[in-house]
């Protein structure tokens, strides 16, 4: 009887499990069927609206134009960086990625709903005309930017080489809008610039992340390896660019651990990029300059170096663009740019909307010095050691003359005109001393 009871209970338990499994399967199938029905209803609604607009709209409009407008509106409403790329837009994007294009030389983004200058590119018409990171663009010629997308704004700012354009902006500290007159030109980006400071400090300026950044930085480090005791990496007003170049740049300074990860809705969109010992080129002390114009790839570089405690960050909080976009072709000549994931730094923190905070906050400006006319030094005494002074003065004059002949050197006078760079150099000196370099 006892065994029969256990058999009965076992049978009931199995039957109950099968019943629950069958019920779960029915619920799953019902959910799928419901989702499919909702999908078909939505598509039918969309098709009906397209048909009504095509038939009754006051102006004649083709089905192709309607579909393009529908796609454009849908992509714009997803987020600030997703959009539909028409044939013209898609072609322009390809040209820009290759590092040469026509326009003003300005990178823009949406911040708090306003079209904002992320940064002007070094040496371009926008930079020469005086546009600055953080400027809010109100008008492009006579067209208001209210409700305008990034791509619409870029399309308006680009045009025939030599053609003028007026950009109306609002700038912090100015009581009224400014009108900046700019003449369009062919924009050729030179992403990496190098100079020497104090003979033993290598200054590397990365203006944007095109396809040659890591290679150019490696060449610069190898060129000055024998005399370099420290490096200043300047990422100010760097709007970003190619992710693989950002990863490779960090790998030059970091020999192990994660550099950046991206997480999306799908597992296939989740990736982790890590440093390798074979990619590491130098371990000398490093200071990184950042500001509000440092965005995307430059935030990945600065944030990863900060998390690995590989460099000291000096300057101001970065822009805060931490999302991943991919360009997906939908025809031979058209595509969509879609946000598929967010970036996360090695510590797990996000960049999106918060940016990267500097270790040492320094506002831009010049170093203010005050000469004390009443100070008395040894050289002012009547019987000081003149021969030694002549030796020192002779050395100074020779160094000064030598500096003038070299365009790749940043002089003390130049440093005093850039307090952020001056602060970075001073911090680097302390690192070199404490690490015994």
Q: What's the domain count of the chain?
A: 2
173 and 322 part of one domain? no
d(CA 373, CA 384): 19
206 and 294 part of one domain? yes
159 and 297 part of one domain? no
Candidates 212, 132, 213; CA nearest to 167 is: 132
What is the CATH number for 176?
2.30.42.10
CA 114 to chain CA centroid, Å, is 18
Bridge partner list, 188: 100
Helix (H) or strand (E) holding 218: helix 213-223
- Amino acid 98: pLDDT: 60
* Two tokens, residue 219: 């060449």
* Two tokens, residue 42: 């939505």
**pLDDT band of 391, cuts 50, 70, 90:** low
User: What pTM did the predictor assign?
Assistant: 0.73
Q: Which residues are catalytic?
A: 296, 307, 321
Lowest mean pLDDT among 96-100, 185-189, 286-290, 427-431: 96-100
C-beta separation of 254 from 280 below 8 A: yes
d(CA 13, CA 71): 54
**Helices marked H in 98-169 — which ranges?**
125-129, 150-157
179 and 232 part of one domain? no
Tell me whether residue 352 is in a domain: yes
Query: What range does the domain containing 144 cover?
Result: 101-188
d(CA 421, CA 393): 27
Tell me whether residue 96 is in a domain: no
- What would the mean pLDDT of 92-97 be, rounded to a whole number? 68
219 and 346 part of one domain? yes
Tell me whether residue 89 is in a domain: no
C-beta separation of 109 from 237 below 8 A: no
Candidates 254, 193, 249; CA nearest to 218 is: 249
- Amino acid 373: pLDDT: 56
- Amino acid 338: pLDDT: 93
Tell me whether residue 400 is in a domain: no
* Two tokens, residue 305: 């170096």
């Amino acid at each position: 009887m006892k065994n029969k009871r256990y058999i009965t209970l076992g049978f009931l338990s199995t039957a109950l499990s099968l019943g629950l499994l069958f019920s779960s399967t029915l619920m799953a199938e019902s959910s799928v069927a419901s989702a499919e029905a909702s999908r078909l209803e939505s598509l039918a609604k969309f098709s009906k609206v397209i048909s009504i607009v095509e038939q009754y709209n006051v102006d004649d409009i083709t089905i192709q134009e309607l579909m393009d407008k529908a796609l454009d509106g849908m992509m714009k409403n997803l987020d600030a960086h997703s959009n539909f790329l028409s044939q013209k837009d898609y072609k322009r994007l390809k040209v820009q990625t290759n590092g040469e294009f026509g326009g003003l030389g300005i990178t823009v983004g949406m911040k708090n709903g306003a079209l904002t200058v992320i940064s002007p590119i070094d040496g371009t018409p926008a930079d020469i005309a005086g546009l600055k990171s953080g400027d809010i663009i109100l008008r492009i010629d006579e067209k208001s930017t209210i409700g305008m997308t990034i791509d619409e704004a870029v399309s308006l700012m680009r045009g025939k080489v030599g053609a003028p354009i007026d950009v109306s902006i609002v700038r912090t500290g100015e009581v009224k809008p400014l009108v900046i007159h700019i003449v369009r030109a062919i924009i050729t980006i030179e992403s990496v610039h190098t100079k020497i400071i104090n003979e033993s400090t290598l200054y590397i300026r990365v203006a944007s992340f095109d396809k040659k950044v890591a290679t150019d930085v490696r060449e610069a480090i190898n060129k000055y390896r024998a005399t370099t005791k420290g490096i200043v990496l300047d990422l100010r007003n760097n709007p970003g660019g190619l992710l693989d170049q950002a990863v490779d740049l960090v790998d030059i300074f970091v020999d192990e651990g994660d550099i950046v990860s991206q997480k999306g809705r799908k597992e296939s969109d989740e990736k982790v990029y890590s440093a390798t010992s074979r990619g590491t080129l130098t371990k000398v002390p490093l200071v990184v300059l950042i500001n509000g114009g440092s965005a995307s790839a430059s935030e990945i570089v600065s944030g990863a170096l900060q998390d690995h405690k590989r460099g000291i960050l000096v300057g101001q909080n970065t822009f805060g663009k931490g999302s991943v976009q991919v360009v997906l072709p939908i025809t031979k000549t058209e595509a969509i740019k879609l946000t598929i994931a967010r970036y996360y730094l090695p510590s797990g923190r996000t960049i999106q909307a918060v940016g990267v905070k500097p270790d040492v906050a320094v506002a831009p400006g010049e170093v203010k010095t005050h000469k004390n006319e009443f100070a008395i030094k040894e050289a002012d005494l009547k019987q000081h050691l003149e021969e030694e002074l002549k030796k020192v003065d002779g050395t100074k004059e020779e160094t000064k003359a030598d500096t003038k002949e070299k365009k790749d050197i940043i002089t003390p006078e130049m440093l005093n005109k850039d307090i952020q760079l001056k602060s970075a150099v001073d911090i680097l000196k302390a690192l070199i001393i404490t690490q015994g370099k």
